[in-house]
Amino acid sequence: MDLKVISLTGDYVMLMRRVFTKPQKGRIFWQRLLDEIQGLGIESIGIVAFISAFMGAVVAIQTAYNIDNPFIPLTMVGWTTRQSIILEFSPTIISLILAGKVGSRIASEIGTMRVTEQIDALEIMGVNSANYLIFPKVVALLLINPVLIVLSMWMGILGGWMAMGATGLSTTTDYVTGIRIDFQVYIVFYALLKTLFFAFIIATISGFYGYKTNGGALEVGQASTKAVVLSSILIIVFNLILTQLLLT
C-alpha cells in the first residue's frame, strides 16, 4: 500500500514536471485557456449561484430559529451567515462541489482522449500533450475559481437576506447590520487563498488520473471517480492545514 502511494506520488510529480513547462505555442495556449475558462468556470456559475443562495438561506433560517435568548440581538443572524459563508461554505463546500463537477469533467475528458489514442496522436506530432491538455485547465481554474467563490459569497449572503425577508424572522436592517459587524478583510483573503489551493488540487489531480487512464470506457469512469474522491480528500485535509496555519 505504502509503495503504491509512493509510486503514485512519483508519477504525479513526473507528470507535473511535464505540465509546468512553457507552452509550445502561446497563441494556442491563450485560445485553450479561454475555452477552459468557459467550460470549467462560466458553465459552473449557475450551479454555484443556486446552491450558495439556498445554503445561505438555510444558514440564516437555522440561526434565526436557534436564537431564543432575548439578550442575543437579531443582528447575529447576519453575522453568523456571513462568517459561515465566507469562512467555510463558499471556499470549502463549493470547492468540494466543483471537485465533483469540474474534476470529473477533466478526468473523463482527458481519459477519453487517452483511450481513443488522441493523446498518442498529440505525442506523435511532437506536442507535449501533458502541457497542452492539463496546463490551460490548471491556469483556468486558478483564475476562475476565486471569481466563483466570491460570487458564491455574495449569493449566500443574498440568499440569507431573502429568506429573512420571506419568513420575517429578522429585519433587513438587523440582517445588514449583522453582516457589517466586525468585518475583517483578512477572512476573505484567507478564503480566497484556500480557494487557490483547492483549484490547484482539483485541476492537477483530475488531470493526472485522466492522463494515466489505461483501457476503455470502464477505466475512464474509474479514473473519474478516483479523481473526485482523492481531490475531495485532499481538499478536506488541506482545509484543516491551511485553517491552522492562517487563522491561528
Partner 1 sequence: MIEAKEVNKFFGDHHVLKNISCTFEKGKTNLIIGQSGSGKTVLMKCLVGLYEVDSGMISYDGRNFSEMNFEQRKNLRQEIGMLFQGSALFDYMTVEENVMFPLNMFSKQTKQEKLNRVNFVLERVNLDNINHMKPSELSGGMRKRVAIARAISMKPEYLFCDEPNSGLDPQTSGVIDQLIKEITVEYGIITIVNTHDMNSVLSIGDNVAFIYNGELWWRGNKETILHTSNKELNEFVFGTELTSRLKQ
Applying CB under 8 A, the residues found at the interface with partner 1 are: 24-25, 28, 112-113, 116-118, 120-121, 123-128
Residues 86, 100: Cα–Cα separation, whole Å: 21
* Minimum distance of partner 1 from residue 1's CB (angstroms): 20
Residues 13, 91: Cα–Cα separation, whole Å: 26
- Nearer Cβ to partner 1 (120/180): 120
Work out the burial of residue 154: count CB atoms within 10 Å of its CB; fewer than 13 is exposed, 13-18 middle, 19 or more buried: middle
* Minimum distance of partner 1 from residue 233's CB (angstroms): 30
* Minimum distance of partner 1 from residue 96's CB (angstroms): 27
* Minimum distance of partner 1 from residue 122's CB (angstroms): 9
Question: Cβ distance 228 to 100 under 8 Å?
Answer: yes
* The residue to which cell 480528500 is assigned: 233
Q: Which SS3 state, helix, strand or coil, does residue 51 take?
A: helix
What residues have CB less than 8 Å from 115, skipping those under 6 apart?
A: 213, 214, 215, 216, 217, 219, 220
Question: Cβ distance 94 to 153 under 8 Å?
Answer: no
* Minimum distance of partner 1 from residue 108's CB (angstroms): 12
- Nearer Cβ to partner 1 (60/106): 106
- Nearer Cβ to partner 1 (125/240): 125
Output phi, psi for 128, to 5 deg. -75, 95
Question: Cβ distance 105 to 1 under 8 Å?
Answer: no
* Minimum distance of partner 1 from residue 136's CB (angstroms): 13
- Nearer Cβ to partner 1 (43/117): 117
- Nearer Cβ to partner 1 (7/116): 116
What residues have CB less than 8 Å from 92, skipping those under 6 apart?
A: 194, 198, 235, 236, 239
- Nearer Cβ to partner 1 (90/104): 104
